[in-house]
Homo-oligomer: A and B are copies of this chain.
Amino acid sequence: MTILRQPTRAGVRDAAAKLNGVVPPSPLFTHEIKGVPVAFKAESLQPVGAFKLRGAWHRLTAIEPKMRDRGVVAFSSGNHAQGVAWAAKRLGMPAVIVMPADAPVTKREATLALGAEIVSYDRATESREKIAAHLAGARGATLVPSFDDAWVIEGQGSAGVEASAQMEAMGLGAPTHAVVPCGGGGLAAGIALALPDATITPVEPEGWDDMRRSLEAGWIEPVGDNPPKTACDALMTREVSALTFEVLARRGCVGVAVSEAAIAEAQRWAARYLRLVVEPGGAVALAAVLTGQVSVEPGMLVVLSGGNVDPEAYARVLAGEAVEAPAFPALSRAGQ
């Protein structure tokens, strides 16, 4: 079902135009770090708590009218599920989300509240890819990948178009350097296309930094066999896609990996200074800036990509307790 089309800057602009009036621009805040005003794009404040509705909207609105009634299928236990469900609901299309049986109740509830149907699978014995492909085939529905798709990448890139306009309106000028959380790379690649003159730094959790290693190697390297635990459920992607990798590689991007402790500290910083609830995966770019792994500079844009936290885990982070990361899913490729 993968459509062989490269994402383009024109596509990103088209996505931004399509989103205009559908959702208001997510807020952009500035806060000084080491005396330099840094811009924060709060995608955590989107209606579904993450940027994912951007790619979903651009993708679903590109489905041919005669195919729309058959709906869409996605596999995800988190933010992508809600993005697809949100877009499908607004377009009056049926949506089926393939979700592990042990997904957090909060995420199941949020997806159901958006009107989607959930098909559960057992992580240990079943493949969600196969289930999703089977469902899509049987229903004639369109499969919506979480990042390996030109429309999805272009849609996510609309965040960069918006942020650039907001920064210019605030007198900060267009972004010169965007620091972006990276799982499969859809958001980072989309923003790279949106901002052709900016440095783009994709940021991942340590041990899940396959984009960083891939960019260094010059070819795609998957996550190793025994990746460490991470609190960043939204960034646990086993392998990036050729589409996202090539956009970032062609730009000569250099990735950064941040520690779990730095991520927790970034979540605390966001709560205290920005009064924002940011999920671990949404805080990695901020973590890279706060640790000094990325140097602060004028024109810097930091993307806070999501705010869907597990309340108990978040309370522990704010209390400053040792970060207890959940186990990563054992058998299936973890999504966004």
Tell me, in angstroms, the Cα distance from A170 to B274 when the chains sit together.
25
Given A27-B45, A275-B44, CB of A318 within 8 Å of CB of B307: no
Please encode chain A, from 250 to 282, with 1 for each CB lying within 8 Å of some chain B CB and 0 for all others: 000000000000000000100110111110000
**Which residues of B have CB within 8 Å of A320?**
311, 315
Select one of B170, B268, B314 contacting A271, CB under 8 A.
B314
- Determine how close the nearest CB of chain B comes to the CB of A264; give it in whole angstroms: 12
**Which residues of B have CB within 8 Å of A315?**
315-316, 318-320
Indicate if A312 sits at the interface (CB-CB under 8 A): yes
Indicate if A328 sits at the interface (CB-CB under 8 A): no
Indicate if A49 sits at the interface (CB-CB under 8 A): yes
**Which residues of B have CB within 8 Å of A307?**
275
Select the residue from A24, A272, A311, A312 with max chain B CB neighbours within 10 A: A272
Q: Taking the full assembly, how many copies of this chain does it contain?
A: 2
**Which residues of B have CB within 8 Å of A319?**
312, 315-316, 319
- Determine how close the nearest CB of chain B comes to the CB of A38; give it in whole angstroms: 14
Select one of B27, B272, B314 contacting A311, CB under 8 A.
B272
User: Which chain A residues (62-114) contact chain B, with CB distance < 8 Å?
Assistant: 106
Tell me, in angstroms, the Cα distance from A49 to B270 when the chains sit together.
12
Indicate if A29 sits at the interface (CB-CB under 8 A): yes
- Determine how close the nearest CB of chain B comes to the CB of A278; give it in whole angstroms: 8
- Determine how close the nearest CB of chain B comes to the CB of A267; give it in whole angstroms: 11
Query: Which residue of the partner chain B has the closest CB to A170?
Result: B24
**Which residues of B have CB within 8 Å of A271?**
277, 309, 311, 314
- Determine how close the nearest CB of chain B comes to the CB of A50; give it in whole angstroms: 9
- Determine how close the nearest CB of chain B comes to the CB of A73; give it in whole angstroms: 26
**Which residues of B have CB within 8 Å of A277?**
271, 275-277
- Determine how close the nearest CB of chain B comes to the CB of A45; give it in whole angstroms: 6
- Determine how close the nearest CB of chain B comes to the CB of A332; give it in whole angstroms: 27
Tell me, in angstroms, the Cα distance from A45 to B27 when the chains sit together.
10
Tell me, in angstroms, the Cα distance from A135 to B195 when the chains sit together.
52
**Which residues of B have CB within 8 Å of A170?**
24
**Which residues of B have CB within 8 Å of A29?**
45
List 17 A-B pairs, Cβ < 8 Å: A27-B45, A44-B275, A45-B274, A45-B276, A49-B275, A106-B272, A268-B311, A272-B309, A272-B311, A275-B278, A275-B307, A275-B308, A277-B277, A315-B315, A315-B318, A315-B319, A316-B319
Q: List the 3 closest A-B pairs by CB distance, nearest first.
A: A275-B307, A315-B319, A315-B318
Which of A's residues lie within 8 Å of B, judged by CB? 24, 27, 29, 44-45, 49, 106, 170, 268, 271-272, 274-278, 307-309, 311-312, 314-316, 318-320
Sample of 5 further A-B pairs with CB below 8 A, known A44-B275, A272-B309, A276-B277: A45-B276, A271-B309, A275-B278, A277-B277, A314-B318
